[in-house]
Amino acid sequence: MSIANVEREEELRNAVAHVISSYGPERSLEDQVLVQPMAENIIGSGVATTRDHLTGLPYVVVNFSEANDTSIVTGGRTTMKSYTYLNDPSVVRPLQLRQLSILISELEQAFPDEPLEIEFGLDEFGVLLFQIRPLAQCQTDGLYCSKDALLERLKPIANDIQSVLLRQRPGEIPSGCFGVMPDWNPAEMIGLKPTPLAYSLYDELLMKRAWSEGRARYGYKDLGDRPLMYQFGGTPYIDICASLYSLLPSSLCDNLARKIVSAACRVLQQHTELHDKVEFALFPTCYAPDLHLEAAYPVLSYLTETERSSFESALKTQTNDMFAKFNRDLVRIDEIRTLALDCDEGTWGDELVVSAVRRLEVIRDIVAPFFSSVARAAFVGTAVIRGVHACGHISDEILEDVLFVPDAASGRVARDFVSLPKSDFLSLHGHIRPGTYDIRVPRYDEDYENYFSNLKGQARTNQRTHIRASPQTEKFLCSLGLELSDVDPVIFVRQSLWAREEVKYLYAKLLSDSLNDLVRAAEPYGFHREELAFLRVEDFACAGREADWRRLKQVAEARKREWQCTCNIRMPALLFHPSDIYSFEDIQVSPNFVTQRRILGPLRPPVAGELSGAIVLIEQADPGYDWIFSHSIAGLITAYGGSNSHMTVRAREFGIPAAIGVGGALYERLLGASRVLLACDERRIEILQ
């Protein structure tokens, strides 16, 4: 207990008595009460630890608020900054923390073997030390517990980053920055420390070629076989420059394209809070009605009038061509559905490993490029209709109605759970796996009771009126030059959103069946799914005989040790320079709040049987986590995810208050909370307990 602003002697006696009584019945005569002068004219305050409290590694972690309210940080509110750095003379520390770093160095010298937690304040004269105490529940017996050992471990990671930054083939746009959440958002899809199999699946199936091929089909720049994703320190990163370049019309001249990407990177360095929104917050990636709104896209201010006109013209052509191609592409979904539902051994082969590999090849060569295409179509459709809304031509209610897709795959799963017998439900949807790429996680048909706990209730529904675009809306879009004579814009939006969810569902089924085949193939050789997670896709090409599996078991053991070495290494959400891994700010993100409601309730992880009335906290949530909606959850918070991510769509569909993509720093603080206020109307999350 802390009591502030005590002025007179009698108040001091009462305050001391209150503090002593707060010690409880087990207090002793050796307990002490700290009395110190009241700090005034505070301009900032925070809490620093000399080790990462989760891993014990010697990172200094600072939570800091530039405000005169000293309870903001200790009270768990969201309006603060977080920094991570190695307190070593060789590391350039954040300028705002130079004086604090000097204080921390002095305290570390005074308590050399003790992990510390430090409460501090700032006034116009410098740093004020409020309290210092041992860091509770800090594990310090892991790898790299000394600063020197950790510095040595980080050097090869910095070298890897430098080599990629310097690597550039003739004619290629150079890599300039990397992020864990832009574009295909690996932080959400496979996590910040994926196992080797999860990473290699995501990389092989989507990030090597399919991502670019799908966009090129709809008139965007084709980057060929240039990879989109890299792994540094065990963390997956998107090459942001490659991502941005691939979102420009193919007809745009290369010099202008490079200028736009360069300007976008400069804006991102100045506004790092946009790092999870780079594909729509920096420059337009389709011809949308809000293109002419001055504040919508900051990169446009870097262009001349001529350049801007050329850019808009290229976007208009690309968007119109996309509308026409998308309608023709819809028939391909039936072909993909046939492939995904085909269980004939003649199609996939009678050997389990062969069957698994062939399914993966079909995903890579056919399904993933098409998924990339329809995902872009859904993004464009959403951007167009949101642009109509931003220009004041449709209301908030109509916008929400348009974005609701009643026949989407996720809604079908929820309805089938209520209406079908268990066996029929699992026959249709048993392949769903929370953590699509994680072979360690059981499917619905492998662990039904744990996911659903015999729950059988009412499906969440959100009935909406089926509407068409008004003549005024169509006239407005046509006046912009969008050729929609044969395409109702509302129908296009809904069809593109439906297609994205349907292809995602079929993609996940093929992948889940492939992983299931690998589990079954490895079982006779004593190979468990937890070990398979540490192989890579390419390893299975030579898995057949018992000797092969014995060799792969040794490979998996070695890879697991490598993975464990990187799991505790903290990496920044954005990388501009190799030195960023030694000292970085945990970027403040702008969560995607769903609904205008507010809810106060218990905060719980996704564990079946404990979710009714709770606000569920998940690090990253793909479609496999849809089982949580069969429980009566009150709200949802995720660390990673964007405005068009699966969980945003689902929360919107069911009208559930949600904060999607709160970022790693706030997520870590929420892990220690038991009760929160989720105020979507105020775009605020507050820890209450």
Strands 44-49 and 116-123, how do they pair?
Answer: antiparallel
User: Predicted confidence band at 496 (pLDDT cuts at 50, 70, 90)?
Assistant: very high
Quick one: what percent of the chain has pLDDT higher than 90?
A: 38
Range from 125-129, 511-515, 541-545, 564-568 carrying the lowest mean pLDDT: 541-545
Which of 35-39, 63-67, 261-265, 287-291 ranks highest by mean pLDDT?
Answer: 261-265
- Using the predicted structure, report yes or no on whether residue 106 has a pLDDT greater than 60: yes
Quick one: what percent of the chain has pLDDT higher than 70?
A: 89
Range from 190-199, 423-432, 637-646, 668-677 carrying the lowest mean pLDDT: 637-646
Sheet order of strands, 684-687 included: 592-594, 658-660, 635-638, 615-618, 598-604, 675-679, 684-687
User: Predicted confidence band at 307 (pLDDT cuts at 50, 70, 90)?
Assistant: very high
- Using the predicted structure, report yes or no on whether residue 346 has a pLDDT greater than 70: no
Q: How many residues does the chain have?
A: 689
Helices (H), ranges, 430-488: 448-452, 471-479
Of the chain, the end-to-end C-alpha distance in Å amounts to: 15
Which of 83-97, 575-589, 632-646 ranks highest by mean pLDDT?
Answer: 575-589
pLDDT of residue 208: 95
Report the DSSP beta bridge partners of residue 237.
230
CA distance 689 to 677: 10
Give the residue with greater pLDDT, 414 vs 302: 302
Contacts for 669 with CB less than 8 Å, ≥ 6 apart: 63, 76, 687
Mean pLDDT of the chain: 85
Region 623-637: what's the mean pLDDT?
Answer: 84
pLDDT, one tens digit per residue, over 500-542 is 999 999 999 999 999 999 999 888 888 899 999 999 999 988 7
Which of 108-112, 249-253, 282-286, 456-460 ranks highest by mean pLDDT?
Answer: 249-253
pLDDT of residue 403: 79
User: Predicted confidence band at 400 (pLDDT cuts at 50, 70, 90)?
Assistant: confident
Give the residue with greater pLDDT, 267 vs 131: 267
**Is the backbone of residue 468 left (phi > 0), alpha (psi -120 to 50) or beta?**
beta
Query: Interior CA angle at 440 toward 438 and 445, to 5°?
Result: 95
Give the residue with greater pLDDT, 399 vs 248: 248
pLDDT of residue 343: 66
Q: Is 23 helix (H, G, I), strand (E, B) or coil?
A: coil
Region 569-584: what's the mean pLDDT?
Answer: 93
Owner of token pair 């207990």: 1
Give the residue with greater pLDDT, 73 vs 410: 410
Region 475-494: what's the mean pLDDT?
Answer: 68
pLDDT, one tens digit per residue, over 131-160 is 888 887 666 555 557 888 899 999 999 999
Give the type of residue at 430. G
* Dihedral sign (CA 353, 354, 357, 358): negative
User: Predicted confidence band at 197 (pLDDT cuts at 50, 70, 90)?
Assistant: very high
pLDDT of residue 31: 82
> 46: burial class by Cβ within 10 Å (0-12, 13-18, 19+)?
buried
Element (H, E) at 687: strand 684-687
- DSSP letter at 363 equals I
- Using the predicted structure, report yes or no on whether residue 466 has a pLDDT greater than 60: no
Region 81-104: what's the mean pLDDT?
Answer: 85
User: Predicted confidence band at 455 (pLDDT cuts at 50, 70, 90)?
Assistant: low
Range from 2-16, 139-153, 247-261 carrying the lowest mean pLDDT: 139-153
Question: What is the number of other CB atoms lying within 10 angstroms of the CB of residue 116?
Answer: 19
pLDDT of residue 627: 83
Question: What is the number of other CB atoms lying within 10 angstroms of the CB of residue 9?
Answer: 8
